[in-house]
Structure formats: C-alpha cells, structure tokens
Amino acid sequence: MGDEIGLRERKKRQTRKLISDVASGLFIRRGFDNVTVAEVAEAAGVSTKTVFNYFPRKEDLFLDRFPEAVELITQAVRERPEGERPLSALRRLVLGLLERRHPLGGMGDGYEYFWQVVLDSPGLQARAREWADELESLLAALLAEAAGAEPGDPWPRVEAALVVAAYRTAYATGVRRIMAGERADDVIEDHIALLNRSFDALERALDLDPR
C-alpha cells in the first residue's frame, strides 16, 4: 500500500513539473499574457481541467515554487537545532539555497529571462506581491509559534514584515544588476554579503523586543 501511494505521489509530482516546465517555456518564448491555459494543456498533453487541478491560477504555472518555499521555510524554523534562533535558521536556509544554486535562491545565469516575463505581465507582478504577503503571514505564524506568543500579539507580524522587506530589497538589488548585464557570479557574491549584513541588522534590532 505504501509503495502504491508513493508511486502515485511521484506521478503527481512528475505531472506537475511537466505542466510547469511546458508552461514556462511557452511564457518565456511568447510572453505570459499571450499564452492561454488551454494552449499549455495541449502542449503538455493533458486536459485544461488537469492543469487547474495542479495550478488553481494561471500565474501559479510560472510562479510554481511557492509550495516548496513554504515547506522549506516551515522546516527551517520548526526543525532548527535546539538553541538556534528562528532568524539564524532562516539565514542558514537562504544562504544554503544560494550556495547550491537552488531555483528558490533566485539568482543565476539565465534568470533574466524569468524576470523579464514577470516584468512584462501586470498579472504576474500582482501575484508576486500576493506571494510576498502570504510569505509574511507564514513567517509571522512561525515566529509566534517559536516564541510562544499570545494570540493577537502584533510583534511576530512586525518581525516577519522586517524580514520580508529586507530580503525583498536585497533580492531586487541583485535582480537589477543582473538585468543590467553584470555577471551572475559577481552579483551573487555581493548579494550574499548584503543578506548577511541585513540579517545581522535584523538580529540586533529584534533583540530589542519591546514585550
């Protein structure tokens, strides 16, 4: 029974990846707004209903890694070593993704094609902003849980907002440089330094917890 469930889950992951990969290729070649979900389904050899079963919104076909990000962030905070602060766990996760050149690290050669698709689509930009809001809510809940905060305590939300703002600013800085033609390896080195500086500042600031 376990093997059967495992096989079914692997097939689901493979189908999801196939649909996303096909969609990304079409969006990069033709632009997000110029491709329909029906065209993605046809190119992937599945039905439109199947596409929507895996991706409730068209934007999620391109911004498809949010569930993985949620899982990694949740694991980093909840499964951190005893005595490690949540911010230190998040720093370790972010830097580890960059060092491994994981897609969720968000930096590397060729990423400019991905960013250009987003920049050309108001719908994708709006979804990216929603993604940032959802990420902030997730972090607030995880930080509240880690601190044993009382329900309604606003401080975990303040912490989460600062973390997201710092990361988004550092990331946007790197994106602008690569889009301007700089080598990804040079930008990544500076990006890591900026992230470390940002986390250092956040840890000092959040030590001043007013509760």
Q: Is 7 exposed, middle or buried (0-12, 13-18, 19+ CB in 10 A)?
A: exposed
Is the pLDDT at 211 greater than 80, yes or no? no
- Clarify whether residues 99 and 138 are in a common domain: yes
Please check whether residue 211 lies inside any domain of the structure: no
Q: Where in the sequence is the domain holding 39, given as residue range(s)?
A: 2-60
Mapping DSSP to helix (H, G, I), strand (E, B) and coil, where does residue 65 land? coil
Q: Tell me if 23 sits within 8 A of 17, measured CB to CB.
A: no
How many domains does one find in the chain?
2
Query: Which residues contact residue 88 at a Cβ distance below 8 angstroms, ignoring those fewer than 6 apart?
Result: 80, 203
Pair (202, 116) in one structural domain: yes
Which domain-ending residue is among 34, 60, 86?
60
The share of the chain scoring above pLDDT 90, in percent, equals 82
pLDDT for position 118: 95
Structure tokens at 191: 């990006």
Domain CATH code at residue 29 = 1.10.10.60
pLDDT at 40: 97
